Amino acid sequence: MIIDLNGKVAVVTGAGRGIGRQIALTLAREGVRTIALDVRQDLLDELGSQFAELGYEGAQYICDVRDALRVTEVVREASELFGRIDILVNNAGVASGGVVESLSEDVWDANMDINLKGTFLMCKAVAPIMKAQGAGRILNAASFAAIVPAFGSAAYASSKAAVKQFTRVLAGELGPWNITVNCYSPGMIPTEMNHFAELSEERQNRLLDTLTLRRWGSKDDVCSLICFLASDHASYITGTMIDVSGGKLATQIPKAAYDVAAQRDVKAQ
Ligand SMILES: NC(=O)c1ccc[n+]([C@@H]2O[C@H](COP(=O)([O-])OP(=O)(O)OC[C@H]3O[C@@H](n4cnc5c(N)ncnc54)[C@H](O)[C@@H]3O)[C@@H](O)[C@H]2O)c1
């Protein structure tokens, strides 16, 4: 199977660092003219330099996805720049938390406004462009927290569960225009959002023990899924959430298999 995205136009939010930056670089490598949005100019400048060095086509715009006016302005500029928008990746997100009794309204609002409202505002601005084209791909970053929340994650998990449901509603609304809307749940991918790689060995092991594949995911694992979902091969997939988390949600006690495998290795020696 050859995934051909050459010549398409994408908008990626939160593309300054982490998974979003890798998505922007990967799409651009595949020949997609890629417009990167972020709240941090320093990160966009770094990404712009990478695009220039690699000869990738695209643009970078400062844009807080919570800001409806700015979102509308940037989407208009982006669509005028390359004449269309084929792919929208709503990657921008934050994951601050705390137990409900001491959770501040500010933290609650930040999670809801960036993760959920930002996704809504971007989709609202891009949908008319995709409808006029009679085609489009919208990909929203959810999380396995949308299904199985972690301790102290009320704000984050609630926002991501809402992204999952929003995705289904929008898929239903945009189906007649050949626009697919899906979300994906990445994990566990060490980034500056979660600092997994800097945890003590004991805490890392505790997290790894929850994964069927028992290793950290890579940003490229997510990018492969994004490329597939953005391609013609995924034209009959919509309104769903695809898990790219090494089987985080697949089995109850994945460590049991590793314990058995380790015992067999010992016996075989
Ligand atoms: N890393 C993981 O294992 C993991 C797991 C589940 C879900 N996710 C989701 O994947 C996405 C990316 O995560 P990451 O780990 O790369 O995070 P990250 O913190 O490394 O990157 C997030 C990016 O979003 C940008 N951003 C933050 N607020 C913004 C706003 N208001 N407007 C525009 N941009 C904004 C940041 O500047 C940053 O560049 C998030 O939506 C996150 O919830 C990640």
Q: Spell out the per-residue pLDDT of the chain, length 269, in tens.
A: 999 999 999 999 999 999 999 999 999 999 999 999 999 999 999 999 999 999 999 999 999 999 999 999 999 999 999 999 999 999 999 999 999 999 999 999 999 999 999 999 999 999 999 999 999 999 999 999 999 999 999 999 999 999 999 999 999 999 999 999 999 999 899 999 999 999 999 999 999 999 999 999 999 999 999 999 999 999 999 999 999 999 997 999 999 999 999 998 888 87
For 64, the domain range is 9-268
Helix (H) or strand (E) holding 182, with range, is: strand 179-186
Within-domain flag for 60: yes
The type of residue at 85 is I
Q: Is the CB of 244 under 6 A from ligand 1?
A: no
Cβ of 13 less than 6 Å from ligand 1: yes
Torsion (CA) 158, 164, 166, 170 in degrees, nearest 10: 170
Instruction: Say if 232 falls within a structural domain.
Output: yes
Single-letter residue type at 192: E
The catalytic residues are 156
Is residue 1, in this structure, part of any structural domain at all? no
Decide whether any atom of ligand 1 lies within 6 Å of the 254 Cβ.
no
Which of 12, 25, 39, 216 to mutate for ligand 1's pocket (most ligand atoms within 8 Å of CB)? 39
User: Which of 81, 73, 82 is closest to 125 using CA atoms?
Assistant: 73
Contact criterion met (CB below 8 Å) for 44 and 21:
no
DSSP structural state of residue 247:
S
Q: What is the pLDDT of residue 179?
A: 98
Place of tokens 């993760």: 115
Q: Which residues 6+ apart lie within 8 Å of 74 measured at CB?
A: 37, 61, 63
Q: Which atom of ligand 1 is nearest to the CA of 145?
A: 6
Number of structural domains (the chain) is: 1
Coil, helix or strand for 232?
helix
With a 6 A CB cut-off, is 92 part of the ligand 1 pocket?
yes
Element holding 74 (H helix, E strand): helix 68-82
Residue 121 has a CB neighbour count (10 Å cut-off) of 23
CATH number at residue 124: 3.40.50.720
Ligand 1 midpoint to CA 252 (Å): 27
Q: Does residue 2 lie in a domain region?
A: no
145 domain residue, yes or no: yes
